Every structure is written in C-alpha cells, then in structure tokens.
C-alpha cells in the first residue's frame, strides 16, 4: 500500500454508539467505498454540509478509482493516482476494513464483522459487484485471476513480470483493458470471446472488425466464437482447452466474463431483489429509509455495469436523502475507452431491433 493511501486509512476501535452526530441524531451510513459510494457521501455533504455521514469499505484501502485499475496494471500511472480526492475524505467518517454483515431494519442499525452496532437515519447500499466466475473446470488453479479490485490488480502486476502467455476469457470492456495491460513486458496475450465479435454489447460487427484489426497490429491474438471448456494443470495453470478440443499452452488466465451484483446483504434484510436490489426513480428500495446505487442496484429492469450510471444514481440518492426531489430516469449507454491506443466510442444499442433509420460514416 502506498504511503499516501495509507495516510488516509482510518480504523477507529470503538463501538457504533459513538457514531452518533453531535446533535445526537444517527448518521447516514453508506456501505461500499467504491467510486459510487464515495460520490454519494460527497454529494450528500454538497447538499447539506452539516449532515453526519459514515462510509464503510471492506478493503484496506482509501477510496480509489476502479476505472483506472487497467492503467495502473499497465504501468501508466502509480497507485497514488488511483486515490479519490483526499480533501473530500476528511469531511466524513471513513471506516476501512470493516465489512457490514447484517442490517436490522426495525432498529435502524447495521452490524459489522467485529460485532459493532451502527445506528443510521438513512442507509445507502453501494456494495457494487464481483466478477462472475463461469463453471469452468480448473478455475480453482493457481494463476487464475479475476480483475475487479486493487488486490486483483496487485496480483496481476506480479504476473506481468513472469507470465509468458496470458489468456483473457472475455472480449468485453474489462477483458480488452486487461489484455492491453498484460502486454507491459511483452507477454503473449490471447483473448477468447464466445460471441461473434469483440465488445458485442457495445459495437456492431464492422466496428468490432476494425477494433480486432488494431488489436492484432498491437500484438493481441483474438479468438471469437470460442469457449474455454477447461483450464489444465496440476496445481497451477498450464493450458486451456477450447471448443472443439484445441489446446493452448499458457501460464496465466484472467476471467472477465461479466459481473454479479452483491445483493446478499440486502436480500437477507428482506429488501426486494432480482439481478440487483430493486429501486424506484428516487433510488429507494422497498424500505424508504434504504437506497441502493451503482452496480448492486436494479432500476427499471436494468443493472448497469458502467461507472457513469452509478454516479448519476448517487447524485439522485443524495438529493432525496437531503430533502430534494430528484428522479432517475435511466442512463443512455455511452462507452469511451482506448484499446491498444485506438479510441473506441459507443452510444446506444448497436443490436437493437427497433431502429427505424441507420446512418453510417466510416473512416478507416
């Protein structure tokens, strides 16, 4: 952990009764110290600077920007640049390494993994998501990684030095970013995507073809319409077996096959869930004192896996909590990134069947 991040670590050893605000009222508690949880705290204080706010994060790091993890893994930035604005952190109580394990809705309090009780006036679920791990034989072997957290990035950073051939399972946003990052020390990288083309949910076939061409020029091998049937090795990765029996030797596997919302805490508390925690346009759950935002929230049937919708939801939740009447109506899906130094921009749904008119401009 860098000295700068460690400087903002704050782990007070006291029970929750001391978390009350100066006027005796319970604070707003935010569970989840990712970018969206951090934004909720920031916006609540922007709307009401006198509001007492406590942010819980189960990682041992100050809030950091997960979007920049691929840049950190690639060596483009240092760990200090991952950190959210330190000045804002000082405005609210930050509880690092404390995992909230249960919610008592009747008593309006939460319990952490150390047995402390924390009363709340309002509660915000910003528990995010975790990597979806498909049921592939061999996923338990050493050197099989996901790529969702700073801990994951640290482990993969060590692998960039020693890996000779890395296979990335998944040709979506995260998979392509991981593939680029793993090339740092000239490691051979292969991306395996089960769909017909890369970034299937963001790009049409022609745009994906141009992207795949650029990736090939950049040294990344891409296999589409392929599934990884199994990962081979005695105690660590030695190979993968593809659809049809083709075998590739490799020493590292990164799984980037999507996300799974962290809804267990909410579900156990009796909040309504499907793929995510169900919320209305005010970002409230079926308990009006509890909100949900970001990748753990499901709004009008949508669970967004991108940062921008989460930030917009955070602003709405903060407004409502502080007495405002903001409403969230959904987010137009927009994606912008660089893959192997090629700018990629996507807006809307390229495969939507309701298009009445299509206008194309192409400049290769």
The H or E element that residue 122 is part of is strand 122-125
User: What integer pLDDT is reported at residue 24 of this predicted model?
Assistant: 52
Q: How many helices (H) and strands (E) does the chain have?
A: 9, 22
- Contact of 119 with 103, CB cutoff 8 Å: no
Which residue's structure tokens are 């939460």? 110
In this prediction, residue 7 carries a pLDDT of 35
Residue 5's pLDDT band, with cuts at 50, 70 and 90, is very low
DSSP type of residue 202: T
Question: How buried is 244 (Cβ within 10 angstroms: 0-12 exposed, 13-18 middle, 19+ buried)?
Answer: exposed
How far are the Cα atoms of 141, 230, 255 from residue 237, in angstroms, in the given order? 6, 11, 13
Q: In sequence order, what DSSP letters do the residues of 21-59 get, joined into one string? A: -TTSPPPEEEE--SHHHHHHHHHHHHH-TT--EEEEESS
Across the range 333-344, mean pLDDT stands at 72
- How far apart are the C-alpha atoms of 282 and 299, rounded to whole Å? 10
pLDDT in tens, 238-263: 999 999 899 999 999 999 999 999 99
The reported pLDDT for the residue numbered 340 is: 63
Q: How does pLDDT run across 153-178, given as a tens digit for each residue?
A: 999 999 999 999 999 999 998 899 99
Residue 290, pLDDT > 90, answer yes
- Asked whether the beta carbons of 231 and 202 are under 8 A apart, the reply is no
With a cut of 50, say whether residue 22 has pLDDT above it.
Answer: no
- Is the separation of the CB atoms in 275 and 129 below 8 Å? no
Element holding 129 (H helix, E strand): strand 129-131
Secondary structure element (H or E) that encloses residue 321, with its range: helix 307-321
pLDDT category of residue 84 using cuts at 50, 70 and 90: low
Q: What architecture is domain 3-130+259-321?
A: 3-Layer(bba) Sandwich (3.50)
Q: Where are the domains of the chain?
A: 3-130+259-321, 133-257+334-347
Query: Which of 168-182, 281-295, 297-311, 340-354 has the highest average model confidence (pLDDT)?
Result: 281-295
CA 36 to chain centre: 10
Task: Answer whether 3-130+259-321 and 133-257+334-347 agree in fold.
Answer: yes
pLDDT at residue 6, as a whole number:
39
- Encoded tokens for 41: 């705290």
CATH architecture of 133-257+334-347: 3-Layer(bba) Sandwich (3.50)
Residue among 244, 256, 193, 180 nearest 223 (CA):
193
- pLDDT-wise least confident of 56-60, 147-151, 168-172, 200-204: 200-204
**What φ, ψ does residue 72 adopt, rounded to 5°?**
-65, -45
Burial label, 225 (beta-carbon count in 10 A; 0-12, 13-18, 19+): exposed
Tokens linked to 227: 């599934």
């Amino acid at each position: 952990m860098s000295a700068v991040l460690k400087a903002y670590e704050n782990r007070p050893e006291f029970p929750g009764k001391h978390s009350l605000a100066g006027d005796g009222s319970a604070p707003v508690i935010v569970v989840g110290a990712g970018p969206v949880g951090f934004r909720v705290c920031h916006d609540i204080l922007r709307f009401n600077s006198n509001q007492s706010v406590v942010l819980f994060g189960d990682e041992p790091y100050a809030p950091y920007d997960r979007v920049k993890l691929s840049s950190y893994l690639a060596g483009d930035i240092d760990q200090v640049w991952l950190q959210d604005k330190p000045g804002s952190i000082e405005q609210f109580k930050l509880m690092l390494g404390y995992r909230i394990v249960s919610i008592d809705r009747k008593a309006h309090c939460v319990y952490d993994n150390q047995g402390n009780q924390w009363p709340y006036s309002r509660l915000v679920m910003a528990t995010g998501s975790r990597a979806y791990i498909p049921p592939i034989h061999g996923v338990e072997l050493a050197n099989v990684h996901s790529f969702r957290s700073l801990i994951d990035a640290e482990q993969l950073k060590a692998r960039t030095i020693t890996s000779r051939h890395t296979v990335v399972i998944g040709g979506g946003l995260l998979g392509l970013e991981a593939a680029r990052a793993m090339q740092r020390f000239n490691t051979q990288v292969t991306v395996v995507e089960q769909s017909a083309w890369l970034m299937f949910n963001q790009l049409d076939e022609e745009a994906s073809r141009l992207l795949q061409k650029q990736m090939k020029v950049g040294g990344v091998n891409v296999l589409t319409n392929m599934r990884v049937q199994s990962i081979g090795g005695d105690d660590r990765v030695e190979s993968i077996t593809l659809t049809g029996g083709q075998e590739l030797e490799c020493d590292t596997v990164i799984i980037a096959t999507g996300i799974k919302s962290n809804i267990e805490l909410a579900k156990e508390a009796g909040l309504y869930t499907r793929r995510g925690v169900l919320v209305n346009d005010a970002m409230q759950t079926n308990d009006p004192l509890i909100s949900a935002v970001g990748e753990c929230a499901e709004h009008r049937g949508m669970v967004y896996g991108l940062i921008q919708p989460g930030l917009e939801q955070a602003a709405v939740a903060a407004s409502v909590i502080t007495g405002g009447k903001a409403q969230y109506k959904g987010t137009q899906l927009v994606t912008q990134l660089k893959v192997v130094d090629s700018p990629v921009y996507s807006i809307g749904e390229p495969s939507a069947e309701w298009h009445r008119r299509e206008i194309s401009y192409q400049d290769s």
